[in-house]
Amino acid sequence: MYSAERGRVLNWINYQDSRPIYEQITERYKLLILKGVLAPGEQMPSVRKLAMELSTNPNTVQRAYAELERQGFLYSVRGRGSFVRGDSDLHAQKRAELAERLSAILKEAKEIGIDPAQLLRECGWKENTKND
Amino acid sequence: MYSAERGRVLNWINYQDSRPIYEQITERYKLLILKGVLAPGEQMPSVRKLAMELSTNPNTVQRAYAELERQGFLYSVRGRGSFVRGDSDLHAQKRAELAERLSAILKEAKEIGIDPAQLLRECGWKENTKND
Amino acid sequence: MYSAERGRVLNWINYQDSRPIYEQITERYKLLILKGVLAPGEQMPSVRKLAMELSTNPNTVQRAYAELERQGFLYSVRGRGSFVRGDSDLHAQKRAELAERLSAILKEAKEIGIDPAQLLRECGWKENTKND
Amino acid sequence: MYSAERGRVLNWINYQDSRPIYEQITERYKLLILKGVLAPGEQMPSVRKLAMELSTNPNTVQRAYAELERQGFLYSVRGRGSFVRGDSDLHAQKRAELAERLSAILKEAKEIGIDPAQLLRECGWKENTKND
DNA sequence: GTGGTCTAGACCACA
DNA sequence: GTGGTCTAGACCACA
């Protein structure tokens, strides 16, 4: 699992996915960073190298990195490379996003008369229990 | 509120919404049907009429209807119009979709070490209680 | 001045400028919007049209528009065009940015022993007076 | 604090800074010279030595020195090293630069209807007072 | 070697 | 017609 965890499985992009490639790359690395698989300060693969690994265009990887930088996951230095930024409040940010999506789902369910509690049970959630 | 509920508030489309117009129409009607505001067998507004009401292109409404038909919410009769499909497992279908999305969120949360129970609490969910 | 104000002076890009083209476009339109020359809801020139006017590449204009959208100045709708977003707090945002830059300058001046008051006088600023 | 003032704190470069390294070096030394920490005639650290101290590439330091020389802060003597240039209108030059930037900000503010006086107050400036 | 910008041109989704 | 994504390939700034 080591190499997989570190993103070294060649070409994990799904070309059938409706999401654009640059977004798949962005999401992938956001997850790796949030999980701590990539540590703060660690160097990212270079734009060109990752592009080759994924058999995609450097511009596409560039766009993904720019997005990751904008969202505070990376910083890039011309001539040196791209690096994982120290945690900051990335976790809090992600947590808020998840809470938001969760809220939307529960609201949708109630609107059409579905009991949220039952919905939760259906997807394996158990109240008052360790869930894992 | 009657006409509002039935979608007769003129132009409820949000043009600033990033979602395409046809999708906003689709979602709107799916909701109206699932809530039972539009009853099985009831006739849908004609493509042209709805397009006028929404000040949008008939092609766009057409596409929304096609999508609703594809998903089993409508059926159309040549020369007569489109109608809300009866009974159906539409609810079950929607329920499955929601459970799926819910599952994905809880999984994402766990992956990055966020406690799902706490996440639920954060968005106003209370265990062992009527939630409304 | 009308057409100039509305950006219809062909090719106001400065190719000698060290700032990239997409940034010059971004700044230009931020200013036009903040000044109110372009009103909320008003349609922006299409990506292709502006690219032609500026004799630049559509991708470059696209990037500028994406940036303007990210910063809350525009919203774009596929198939319809790009539009000026309602004010929101763009002014407050710009004001904070200017205050920040002003602060930095005054700090720099003091560090090397330049009297800020005199500096202000040098660039035409008069205390206790209408300044225009 | 002595050595710190003289730039001998090892590695004061900020690698997360978006500004290139050579520019950080340039700015640092411009400030030290303008503040008088480095006196006219004083010898600069050798390119190699400074590069080692900063754990950076000699080429990068070289470029910074070239820039400082170009701007009149240093002069170099072949075979002997680089030295801080004497007297100079460096102060006047810097003062002009600051006045220029200040002017630009006040102009920008007025263009979009922000009162410069208020902007100044916002960043801690008080008229008719010693400001420190 | 690294990242950043730009061009020319393709193809897609949407109205 | 509109904007959005992607490719191939160039050239630049920086270390």
Q: Which helix (H) or strand (E) holds A127?
A: none
Gap from B26 CA to F3 C1', Å: 22
Which stretches of chain B score pLDDT less than 50?
A: 1-3, 131-132
Whether residue D109 is predicted with pLDDT greater than 90 in this model: the reply is: yes
Q: Is strand F less than 7 A from the beta carbon of C44?
A: yes
Q: Please state, rounded to an integer, the average pLDDT across all residues of chain D.
A: 86
Whether residue C131 is predicted with pLDDT greater than 70 in this model: the reply is: no
> What is the pLDDT at residue D86?
74
Of A75, A78, A85, nearest to D20 by CB-CB distance is A78
> What is the pLDDT at residue D81?
93
Confidence category of residue A4, pLDDT binned at 50, 70, 90? very low
> What is the pLDDT at residue D129?
53
DSSP output for C92-106: HHHHHHHHHHHHHHH
Q: Do chains B and D touch (3 or more CB pairs under 8 A)?
A: no
Of A35, A103, A105, nearest to B98 by CB-CB distance is A105
Q: Is strand E less than 7 A from the beta carbon of A79?
A: yes
Gap from B28 CA to F13 C1', Å: 51
Residue found by looking up tokens 């630009």 in the block: D104
**A82-121 pLDDT tens trace:** 999 977 789 999 999 999 999 999 999 988 889 888 888 8
Gap from C59 CA to F7 C1', Å: 13
- Entry field: residues in chain B: 132
Whether residue C3 is predicted with pLDDT greater than 70 in this model: the reply is: no
Size of interface B-C (CB pairs under 8 A): 10
Confidence category of residue C62, pLDDT binned at 50, 70, 90? very high
Residue of chain B whose Cα is closest to the Cα of A131:
B116
Name the region of A114 (left: φ>0; alpha: ψ -120 to 50; beta: rest): beta
Whether residue D132 is predicted with pLDDT greater than 60 in this model: the reply is: no
Query: In this predicted model, which residue has the larger pLDDT, C6 or C94?
Result: C94
Query: In this predicted model, which residue has the larger pLDDT, C10 or D119?
Result: D119
> What is the pLDDT at residue A6?
57
> What is the pLDDT at residue B99?
92
Q: Is strand F less than 7 A from the beta carbon of A11?
A: no
Residue found by looking up tokens 């929601």 in the block: B98
Token pair for C61: 């204009």
Confidence category of residue A3, pLDDT binned at 50, 70, 90? very low
CB D106 within 8 A of CB D115: no
Cβ of A103 within 8 Å of Cβ of B111? The answer is: no
**C75-120 pLDDT tens trace:** 999 899 999 997 778 999 999 999 999 999 999 998 888 988 888 8
Residue found by looking up tokens 């950080």 in the block: D24
3-state secondary structure of C115: coil
3-state secondary structure of C53: helix
> What is the pLDDT at residue C2?
44
> What is the pLDDT at residue B66?
95
**D35-89 pLDDT tens trace:** 989 999 999 999 999 999 999 999 999 999 999 999 999 999 988 999 999 766 8
Q: Which helix (H) or strand (E) holds D24?
A: helix D21-34
For chain B residues 32-61, those near strand E by a CB cutoff of 7 A are 56-57, 59-60
> What is the pLDDT at residue D87?
67
Q: What pTM was estimated for this model as a whole?
A: 0.87
Between CA B30 and CA B42 the distance in angstroms is: 14
Task: Kindly report which amino acid residue has its CA closest to the C1' atom of nucleotide F15.
Answer: A79
> What is the pLDDT at residue A68?
97
> What is the pLDDT at residue D89?
84
For residue D118, the 8-state DSSP code is H
- Calculate mean pLDDT across residues D94-119: 91
**Mutation target vs C (from B13, B14, B17, B18; most C CBs, 10 A cutoff):** B18
Cβ of D101 within 8 Å of Cβ of C105? The answer is: yes
Chain C interface, Cβ < 8 Å to D = 31, 34-35, 91, 94-95, 98-103, 105-106, 108-114, 116-117, 119-120, 122-125, 127-128, 131-132
- Calculate mean pLDDT across residues C57-61: 97
Task: Kindly report which amino acid residue has its CA closest to the C1' atom of nucleotide E4.
Answer: A78
- What are phi and psi for residue C5, nearest 5 degrees? -55, -35
Cβ of C114 within 8 Å of Cβ of D127? The answer is: no
Q: Is strand E less than 7 A from the beta carbon of A119?
A: no
> What is the pLDDT at residue A126?
67
Nearest to B74 by CA among B132, B108, B29: B29
What positions of strand F are covered by protein, i.e. any atom < 7 Å from a CB?
A: 1-10, 13-15
Task: Kindly report which amino acid residue has its CA closest to the C1' atom of nucleotide E3.
Answer: A78
